Amino acid sequence: MVIKNSSELDAASADSNYDREAEVKAFDESKTGVKGLLESGVTKIPRMFYSGELNLTERSENNSNFAIPIVDLAGIHSDSDLHIEAVEKIGSACQEWGFFQVINHGIPNNVLDEMINGIRRFHEQDSEVRKQFYSREKKKKFNYYSNVNLFTNNPANWRDTLGFLVAPHPTKPEDIPEVCRDIAIEYSKKIRELGHTIFELLSEALGLNPSYLNELACVEGTFLLGHYYPPCPEPELTMGTSKHTDADFMTILLQDELGGLQVLHDNKWVDVPPVHGALVINIGDLLQLITNDRFISVFHRVLASQTGPRISIASFFINYEYKDEGTSRVYGPIKELLSEENKPLYKDTSVKDFLTYYFSKGLDGDSSLQPFRL
């Protein structure tokens, strides 16, 4: 808990018997995640989930005058006016928001809906079945766990997650649970294709050759997380996902119809409203680094809610395979974007060094790029 005033300090010291480490350990050993807590009938959330920083005014700060841009990709391959319009819209969205949504992106609605259903089916299997998959082992190609950074001192989030690799070395089909296998493979394939197209549009929006970012290998790696946010009995005390930026070049997010995702824009939290059939695209830290701050990787978070479960699927474009040579690749600000007036702001940084720093830090709300600034 983050202690902010003397009455909170009193409350914390009055309960000096609280053993966070033991609570976290027991939770992790249950191997059934936050969903397991609900299944066991909790009506109050355990203290390890207290975020200790939220208050109702911060939650309700949302300003409806702002809206995340929606970019229509229909016709961009056949009509040059539509193409130019989409590139311009994407360019300004990436500079001002770091976020936009795309519609008519070519992935059919039934694939999106079935992917959400598949992730739901996995998380709603019997707890005995889920337990068999529960693991934090980096070496495993399919993982199910709650809170990637559970063993740091950061407040735990009200969320469970499954994860698998899509590229460069995809998780073998037989290692993906059958309840979501076919759709996970089909969705991943389509997300890779869309990712390739979005990187072309982003390259053009930077004034570069369309193939530029793909040739820089931004598209080389992808891993996918399927989040499950169970309904929360005390949503004002915790977060679905703490404030963070993404440790990648770009993320493509599919969210269901419940909402709760918010983006920090001009110091205000702005909702990313669910749009059926749309995908949310956001710029990650490494794209901010190579564009020398032209495109921004912005803080976002997910509120906990009494309504749920909420399901979302995040596809991260970065080579996440620690053993793969791609992670030793070094990135710095793109030379073509630099000039006398726009000097490099970042050191050359390897994917591995960046990821190591990011995951040692946890989702604590600080900028992950700071140590790599010149």
Contact pattern from residue 207 through residue 226 relative to ligand OGA, giving x for each residue in contact according to CB under 6 A and a dash for the rest: ------------------x-
Site for Ni ion, residues 230 to 269, rule: CB under 5 A: 246
> C-beta of 304: minimal distance to ligand OGA in Å?
12
For every residue of 133-161, DSSP letters joined together read TB---TT-SEEEES-TTTTSSSPPPS-EE
Is 227 a binding residue for ligand OGA by CB under 6 A? The answer is yes
Using CB under 6 A as the binding criterion, the count of chain residues that bind ligand OGA stands at: 11
Which strands form 268-271's sheet, in the order they lie side by side?
239-244, 300-303, 261-265, 268-271
Of residues 363, 359, 9, 301, the one with CA closest to residue 154? 363
**Contacting residues for 247 by C-beta, under 8 A, at least 6 apart:** 284, 285, 286, 316, 318, 354, 355, 358, 359, 368
Residue with tokens 């190609």: 141
- What is the distance of C-alpha 215 from the center of its chain? 24
> C-beta of 166: minimal distance to Ni ion in Å?
17
> C-beta of 9: minimal distance to ligand OGA in Å?
32
Residue among 32, 291, 297, 312 that touches ligand OGA (CB under 6 A): 312
Measured distance CA(350)–CA(325) in Å, rounded: 11
Residue 253 interacts, among Ni ion, ligand OGA, none and using kind-specific CB cut-offs from 5 to 8 Å, with: ligand OGA
> C-beta of 100: minimal distance to Ni ion in Å?
15
Nearer to Ni ion, 114 or 246 (CB): 246
Nearer to Ni ion, 220 or 246 (CB): 246
> C-beta of 18: minimal distance to ligand OGA in Å?
29
Site for ligand OGA, residues 244 to 303, rule: CB under 6 A: 246, 253, 255, 261, 300, 302
In the complex, residue closest to ligand OGA by CB? 312
**Contacting residues for 185 by C-beta, under 8 A, at least 6 apart:** 173, 176
Residues 277, 105 contacting (CB under 8 angstroms): no
> C-beta of 338: minimal distance to ligand OGA in Å?
29
Residue 37 interacts, among Ni ion, ligand OGA, none and using kind-specific CB cut-offs from 5 to 8 Å, with: none
Residue 227 interacts, among Ni ion, ligand OGA, none and using kind-specific CB cut-offs from 5 to 8 Å, with: ligand OGA
Nearer to ligand OGA, 138 or 172 (CB): 138
Nearer to Ni ion, 184 or 281 (CB): 281
> C-beta of 301: minimal distance to ligand OGA in Å?
8
Measured distance CA(231)–CA(365) in Å, rounded: 24
Which ranges of the chain does DSSP label H, i.e. alpha helix? Answer: 6-14, 20-30, 33-39, 56-59, 80-96, 109-123, 127-131, 181-205, 212-215, 285-290, 351-361
Measured distance CA(105)–CA(111) in Å, rounded: 12
Of residues 59, 47, 50, the one with CA closest to residue 23? 47
Site for ligand OGA, residues 314 to 333, rule: CB under 6 A: 314
Residues near ligand OGA (CB under 6 A):
225, 227, 241, 246, 253, 255, 261, 300, 302, 312, 314
Residue ranges in contact with Ni ion by CB under 5 A: 246
